[in-house]
Structure 1
Amino acid sequence: MASTVFNSFAHFVIVMRVYRLWDRRKEIKWILIVAFTTAMSVAAAFAVLSLRQLDRTVTFTPALDMCTISTKPESLKFCLAALTAFDLFIIVMTIFNALDRPHRHQADVMTALQNDGARMFVCLFRAPNVLKIATVLLTYPSI
């Protein structure tokens, strides 16, 4: 659950950056708020469902003197899918912002994307997902 709260905060910071890129347009603000609220609600709901499914699979293993998890929760992939879909939505919004600006040459679009921090967005969005995947693989080595 703590990772869901952290992800929500990180995504909110990025939403605010995208909102600024769009020159604080009111319609974009509402699109971002609705998308953010929907994605984080879906992710939180599936995170809770994953925890409930996980609760049934935790058993104590005396040989290891620790608790182990026998199966991966089925709803975990939907939690990650909601976050990834929101990441892609934000990237698309950034691309549309670059295309929405007046430009003379096609190279101007690429320059606008670079100025908007496209590389930063891609790295920021992929880093949490890579950490999640690494955590899942370490937790469930049988995947």
Structure 2
Amino acid sequence: MFGVISIGIANVLVLLRVVLLWEDRPVVFKFMSVGFSTGFIAQFVCMIIANIKLGPSISWSPIAKMCIISSSTPLYIAVWVSPMLFEVLVLVSTAVNALDRPRTAQTRIVSALHSDGVAYFFALTILRSLNLAMAATANPSLTLMTVFFVWAMTTTVLNRSLLNFRVSNTKPSSTSPPNPPRRGSPFGTGHLSNSTVKVVDMDDMTLCWDPERHDLDGNGDVDAGRHKPSESIGSSTRLMRLDSRERSRRGLPESDWFPDV
């Protein structure tokens, strides 16, 4: 009985994932909810009837150290068929969503299905099919042989799929168009997505102080060496070192260009 409840909880998580693939459309949510409710109620009712019917045949086995059944019932087939109807609905809706979704020319349909988790849904369907196959044999020793294995594997596969979905949601989608560049705000609060820095070469007029080009007193006299380069340009930043050939061409001492020397 608890296994049936755990299957129902797992199907609820699958239902939410499928609805998320369809972008939370109300029609899809209602359709999937009806399919889930129908399958779960049918499975729960069939399980109760099967347990009542097989109650007299259940006995304790000292060898197996557990309760075993000595007979079988066709109702076990209905117990495993009911949730599989919902799982088939999940597979179909996932495939239709992948076909209906717009995608780029480089994105194949197989990649779209894989990103949607169709492989995990298919694995869950295969695991449930094992229980159905064993129940169809009507052999009491085989009816419940794979129940615990399928129960454990269903939990593992489902948790793995949810973790994979979480990782895929944090990555940029290959089918989504690139984001357009954002314009900067005139108030300085905007954000530029692709900001670039232009490097402008400075000429000699910017980097160098030429005594022949500066008339500091306004009377045509040249300040020979008394004026510092940083003062002539109006900046508190020290100038870059001039080329040795430039200094030798002007015939100025080293101290004119480097005040600290």
Residue 122 of structure 1 and its aligned partner are, at CA, apart by 1.8
Q: Is 2:15 the counterpart of 1:20?
A: no
Residue 32 of structure 1 aligns to a residue in which SS?
helix
Residue 100 of structure 1, CA deviation: 1.4
TM-score by length of 2: 0.47
Structure 1, unaligned runs of 5 or more: none
For 1:84-141, what per-residue CA distance to the aligned partner results, in whole angstroms no more than 9, with x for missing partners? Answer: 12111111111111111134669632221011011122223434554x469869x932
Residue 102 of structure 1 is matched in structure 2 by: 102
Which residues in structure 2 correspond to 1:47-126 (within 5 Å)?
A: 47-59=47-59, 68-103=68-103, 108-126=108-126
For residue 141 of structure 2, give the secondary structure of its aligned residue in structure 1: coil
Cα displacement (A) at 1:142 = 6.0
CA 1:11/1:61 → structure 2, altered by over 3 Å: closer, same or farther?
A: closer
CA shift for structure 1 position 14: 0.6
> What percent of counterpart residues are identical?
23
Task: Indicate the SS of the match to 2:71.
Answer: coil
Residue 52 and residue 117 in structure 1: after superposition, are their counterparts in 2 closer, same or farther (change >3 A)? same
Structure number with higher relative contact order (C-alpha < 8 Å, ≥ 6 residues apart): 1
Alignment: residue pair count: 141
Gap change, CA 1:106 and 1:35, over 3 Å in 2:
farther
| TM-score scaled by length of structure 1 | 0.81
SS of residue matched to 1:123: helix
> Which position in structure 2 is the counterpart of 1:35?
35
SS class of match (2:54): helix
In the alignment, what sits opposite 1:141? Answer: 141
Which residue pairs with 2:11 in the alignment? 11
Partner Cα distance (1:8, 1:65) in 2: 29
Question: Contact 2:134/2:142 (CA < 8 Å) preserved in 1?
Answer: no
Please give the alpha-carbon distance, in whole angstroms, between the structure 2 residues aligned to 1:49 and 1:110.
42
Partners of 1:66 and 1:36 lie apart in 2 by 33
Give the helix-richer structure, 1 or 2. 1
Match in the other structure for 2:239: none
- Contact kept in structure 1, 2:43 and 2:78, CA below 8 Å: yes
Q: Following the alignment from structure 2 to structure 1, what is the Cα–Cα distance between the partners of residues 87 and 47?
A: 17
C-alpha separation in 2, matches of 1:39 and 1:141: 26
AA of the residue aligned to 1:53: K
Instruction: Return the alpha-carbon distance in structure 2 between the equivalents of residues 76 and 45 of structure 1.
Output: 11
**Aligned equivalents of 2:63 and 2:19: distance in 1?**
53
| Contact in 1 for aligned 2:21/2:97 (Cα 8 Å) | yes
